[in-house]
Amino acid sequence: NKYVTTKNHIDGAPKESDFELQSTILALSVEPGSNDVIVKNLYVSIDPYQLNRMKSYSSSQKAINLSTRHSPGQVIDAYGAGKVVASANPGFEKDDLVVGMIGWEEYSVVRGSSMLKKVAKEFPLSYHVGILGFSGLTAYGGFYNVCKPQKGEKVFVSAASGSVGNLVGQFAKLFGCYVVGCAGSKQKVDLLKDKLGFDDAFNYKEESDLKSALKRYFPNGIDIYFDNVGGEMLEAAVDNMNISGRVAVCGVISEYTGTGRRSAPDMLDVVYKRLTIQGFLAADHMCVYTDFISLTSDHLRHGTIHPLEDISQGIENIPMAFAGLFHGDNIGKKMVQIAED
Ligand code: NDP
């Protein structure tokens, strides 16, 4: 069973050389009564948050209070989708398609069923990792529950061509908001405007002053900022928020590698504009899971939402795919296909 692991803790930007491919012998059979399920992994998710788990103790102290820390040498846990090859769990049979917590490995032994869910064959399996998976739930729960939108409100999304960001923008447009996104290349900006229906978009790397850039795109201010990046962009957005504006802090990727500046928004703005700045985790929003799946599936059936996927092939390409997240290499949901469907 081949798997990807880290050689060391990673405290800066991840490099391919921080990872290695290892293998162990794994019997593809289960002990009766054990409740174990063995999954042949087909697609694994590549997510920015995983870096926070790979840091050394001192720099990850805060992150480890919130999620399990990864130790070098261990298999790296990841969300993903696959096919059951053996099951001692009454809820699963051989050949069932499943999604859940597996790992950056060819086969995962999932103990107990709480981390796995069966999926129907209506949509491509990869959709269950992205648009119908955790990224989709993050965008849906964050936008509806945290941002509490009103029709016609002006929404700004950062990392807007990414996995979560593109869906926030699409949900916001479908709901009836005015949406502007920022992303790191012309190709991404064009895609947001021409294919995903954003009202406007800009390349933040070409702006020398983010506060005045946002003033240009939102002359009447921002009502909702969906923050995927933190840092200077969060400060610039707070500067441009309207009274009673809401900032959903989904993630702060510019701060994960330790190379960017930590955000220090102007707190007087927060007070006088009565802003709500709320962090959240997708898992907090399982209460809307059924609504999310039903609305998103309907949009997929009608072609009114666009699944944006970026799929690399082969387990050996996981390190490159992961490192690429922090250079903006991906467009849409980054995942790696490990084996054929
Ligand atoms: P993305 O698909 O958006 O990939 C990351 C993107 O971030 C890159 O493509 C790049 O796009 C952008 N980026 C990378 N480095 C920087 C930087 N220094 N400054 C600005 N932008 C940068 O990833 P996800 O959609 O999976 O995740 C987006 C955010 O949401 C992350 O912060 C992640 O941790 C968070 N998240 C939070 C969850 C939760 O439960 N709260 C769940 C899932 C994700 P570009 O070319 O535009 O720079």
| Domain range 134-283, its CATH number among 3.40.50.720, 3.40.50.300, 1.10.15.40, 3.40.50.1980 | 3.40.50.720
Tell which wins on pLDDT, 259 or 40.
40
Q: For residues 1-26, give the mean pLDDT.
A: 96
Give the list of residues 6+ apart from residue 33 with CB closer than 8 angstroms, or none. 88
Rounded Cα distance, 330 and 120, in Å? 27
pLDDT tens digits, 254-273? 999 987 779 999 999 999 99
Tell which wins on pLDDT, 324 or 112.
324
Angle, helices 210-217/231-239, rounded to nearest 10 degrees: 50
Q: For residues 194-207, give the mean pLDDT.
A: 98
* Beta-carbon count within 10 A of 256 CB: 23
Judged against a pLDDT cut of 60, whether residue 64 lies above it is answered with: no
**Spacing, Cα 227 to ligand 1 middle (Å):** 9
Mean pLDDT of the chain: 95
Q: Kindly provide the b/e burial profile for residues 181-197, where b requires at least 16 CB atoms within 10 angstroms of the residue's own CB.
A: bbbbeeebbebbbeebb
**Spacing, Cα 294 to ligand 1 middle (Å):** 25
pLDDT-derived band at 65 (thresholds 50, 70, 90) equals low
**Spacing, Cα 250 to ligand 1 middle (Å):** 9
pLDDT tens digits, 297-326? 999 999 999 999 999 999 999 999 999 999
- CA distance to 117, 121, 233, per residue, from 87 (Å): 13, 20, 47
Q: Quick check: CB of 254 below 6 Å from ligand 1? A: yes
Strands, E, within the chain: which ranges? 2-6, 19-23, 36-45, 77-87, 97-103, 107-111, 116-118, 154-157, 178-183, 200-203, 222-227, 241-249, 276-279, 309-313, 333-337
Q: Quick check: CB of 163 below 6 Å from ligand 1? A: yes
Q: Quick check: CB of 250 below 6 Å from ligand 1? A: yes
Q: Which ipTM was obtained for this model?
A: 0.99
pTM: 0.96
Q: For residues 180-203, give the mean pLDDT.
A: 98
Note the pLDDT of residue 225. Answer: 98
Domain segments of the chain as ranges: 2-130+308-337, 134-283
Note the pLDDT of residue 59. Answer: 55
Note the pLDDT of residue 332. Answer: 98
Specify whether domain 2-130+308-337 bears CATH 3.30.70.1450.
no
H helix count then E strand count, the chain: 10, 15
Q: For residues 64-92, give the mean pLDDT.
A: 88
Q: For residues 131-159, give the mean pLDDT.
A: 98
Least confident of 7-21, 62-76, 100-114, 130-144: 62-76
Rounded Cα distance, 233 and 230, in Å? 6
Note the pLDDT of residue 57. Answer: 66
- CA distance to 130, 217, 294, per residue, from 154 (Å): 26, 10, 26
Q: For residues 10-36, give the mean pLDDT.
A: 94
Nearest to 153 by CA among 266, 248, 246, 238: 246
